[in-house]
Structure 1
Amino acid sequence: MPMLLDEGFRVVAPDMMGYGDTACLPHDVPSHREAPRVPPASNLRAYTYKSVADDLRQLACLLNCTTIVLGGHDWGAQVAWRVAQWHPHLVSHLFSIAGPYRPPAMHWTPLDDMVKLAPQFAYQKQIASGVLEREFHTTEGLTHFLNILDFSGDDENQASFDPTHGFHLEHLKGLGRGSLLTDEERDIYLSKYAQTGLHGPCNWYRTRRENFEDDQLLPTTIIDVPVLYIAAERDRVFSASLAQDMEHFIPQLSRTSVDAHHYAHMEKWQDVNRILSAWLHVQFPR
């Protein structure tokens, strides 16, 4: 975000549903009294791409934005793709980091069947099951969980997370700190997770059926705006093969990659910033 601000862009970074202040009652977050409230037992529809796309459209309206440049990583990238499809007149440009475009499926595929075709998505079964939010519901537990995200591609991380299985819980509790997050960043993440717990974030893995049903009504499968896709070359889930057909749906696609694991924007932030800045200069010449 600092790079984008330095480039003169207005930057808005909303909390995604279930994260940050979205699951807090007003008196818990006095500085964000208008934050959406999502009780733990909230309907999963609040977490669907369509619902979040509509939320972002409303946010853009509140901010008097007729068009926006939209970007995201992982789940945020999947949301960005669908915002551009549900509200094509809103998104003028789009960038995605480690989140390839996936067109709407023609037929429903249960998660178990999908894992047979793409074993690297087996970890989603563990996350959707509820075991993580039960195991790591205390501050100490959340600290252990945060350690796995902080390691990215280090050897210890490789042993603690296997996409064909999930998190090896017995390894998580023994992990030390990683190097991706500063002390200040780590404290912010921990304080937010302590407010919300992991239930909301895990709900994103429980909406496959709802997203499939919504996708059948998408007005278009094409995203005809300038798009930048930055792949993470060492990502163990989103391999290059998953992004090979994106040009069929995105006529104005530019693509590149960085030598990084899944959290490329944190691990190789200088490279990502350089690539994104160069692309934006082409799109918005001065």
Structure 2
Amino acid sequence: MAFPEPHYVKANGLNMAVYEQGPKDGVPVVMCHGFPELAYSWRHQIPALAGAGFRAIAPDQRGYGNTGGPKGEDAVPLYDIAHLTDDLAGMLDALELDKAVFAGHDWGGMVVWQMALRHPDRVAGVIGVNTPFIPRGPIDPIVGMRMMFGEDMYIVFFQKYGVAEKMFDADVPRSMRFWYRKSAMKLADFDALPADQKNLSFLKGFAADESTWPGEQLLNDEELAYYTAAFRKSGFEGGIGWYRNFTRNWQLGENLVEKVNVPSLMISAADDIVLRPEMTAGMENFVPDLEKHIIPDCGHWTQAEKPAELNAMMVDWLKRRFG
């Protein structure tokens, strides 16, 4: 089934591009992408859910693809978690939907868990793909990451306005090929590396000759062309803006009650080095109605690396809990 063309809705000041398949009266499932992704990142899941009778909905989120968003250093706060979750509530309003099941991968996972806290009346259920529910920590997360990993850790590096986006915008196809690779090693092999190779920096790797990049290229020519066209249109600034709000989001979450009171599914990838399966330990304290699974031999890009396995887990759980 071909990837759907977008239709556009007014949501929280955005002209949001929304991609849909499936019956209009099906239980709506909203799929939220991460970085550097798009609604297109759910291209294998949308037809599977639609074919199972669900209304599959995936937006290009704030700053991305055909939705785009505000630019400039002054616009950075417009990418905080309040805006990102309000965007999705506004999208439901525009689609005349009371609530939906929300599925999210990578940054999209953070957004959907926060949807359940910030807009609980709009959320029927949550599916976390790789991204667990992460409770608010005792210190500013950027301070913590800087202490643990240093200045070159990618999230810390992203805090410098204008630097990373300029680097990625310079050669969009190359940037896409850099990000979208299958994991080159098992989690246990990564853990065995020397400490200086585990600071989650990409700077040396990105600057190196492409032939030295580890892992197998994940995108075929058609997929690479789609991502390239989208990021040439939007640039990387908006997506990186999400990272520039870690501190602000931490401040905004100070008085939030951290309890997800809807049925929830957590699907981890065995070899995701950043969003490690063990990060789901203790989630039940915050997400009481929780089912957990791990997809073996899978790195970070679960929707593309193991689409059949992910689709089966999502559809099975959705049918059992919402069918």
Question: TM-score if structure 2 supplies the norm length?
Answer: 0.75
Measure the CA separation in 1 of the matches of 2:255 and 2:77. 15
Q: Where does residue 230 of structure 2 map in the other structure?
A: 192
* Map 1:219-234 → 2, pairs under 5 A: 220-234=257-271
Measure the CA separation in 2 of the matches of 1:268 and 1:11. 19
Match of 2:274, SS?
Answer: coil
Question: Is 2:159 the partner of 1:128?
Answer: yes
C-alpha contact 1:93 1:227 (8 A) present in aligned 2: yes
Could you tell me which runs of 5 or more consecutive residues in structure 1 were left unpaired when the two chains were aligned: 24-36
Q: Where does residue 254 of structure 1 map in the other structure?
A: 291
Question: Is 2:254 the partner of 1:216?
Answer: yes
Which has more strand, going by share of residues? Answer: 2
Shift of 1:72: 0.8
State which of 274, 279, 282 in structure 1 corresponds to 2:317: 279
Aligned length: 264
Q: Where does residue 15 of structure 2 map in the other structure?
A: none
* Map 1:91-110 → 2, pairs under 5 A: 91-105=123-137, 107-109=138-140
- Counterpart of 2:157, as a letter, is Q
Q: Where does residue 6 of structure 1 map in the other structure?
A: 51
- 1:284–1:181 distance in 2 versus 1, CA, 3 Å: same
C-alpha contact 1:69 1:94 (8 A) present in aligned 2: yes
State which of 193, 202, 205 in structure 2 corresponds to 1:166: 202
C-alpha contact 2:145 2:156 (8 A) present in aligned 1: no
Shift of 1:230: 0.4
- Counterpart of 1:150, as a letter, is Y
Q: Where does residue 20 of structure 1 map in the other structure?
A: 65
Could you tell me which runs of 5 or more consecutive residues in structure 2 were left unpaired when the two chains were aligned: 1-45, 191-196
Q: Where does residue 34 of structure 1 map in the other structure?
A: none
Shift of 1:113: 3.0
C-alpha contact 1:3 1:273 (8 A) present in aligned 2: yes
Question: Is 2:39 the partner of 1:39?
Answer: no
Which has more helix, going by share of residues? Answer: 1
Shift of 1:116: 3.4
* Map 1:57-136 → 2, pairs under 5 A: 57-105=89-137, 107-109=138-140, 111-117=142-148, 122-129=153-160, 130-136=162-168
Shift of 1:115: 4.2
- 1:110–1:90 distance in 2 versus 1, CA, 3 Å: closer
- 1:195–1:117 distance in 2 versus 1, CA, 3 Å: same
Identical residues among aligned pairs (%): 27
- Counterpart of 2:174, as a letter, is H
- 1:13–1:187 distance in 2 versus 1, CA, 3 Å: same
Measure the CA separation in 1 of the matches of 2:72 and 2:163. 15
- 1:118–1:276 distance in 2 versus 1, CA, 3 Å: farther
Shift of 1:150: 2.4
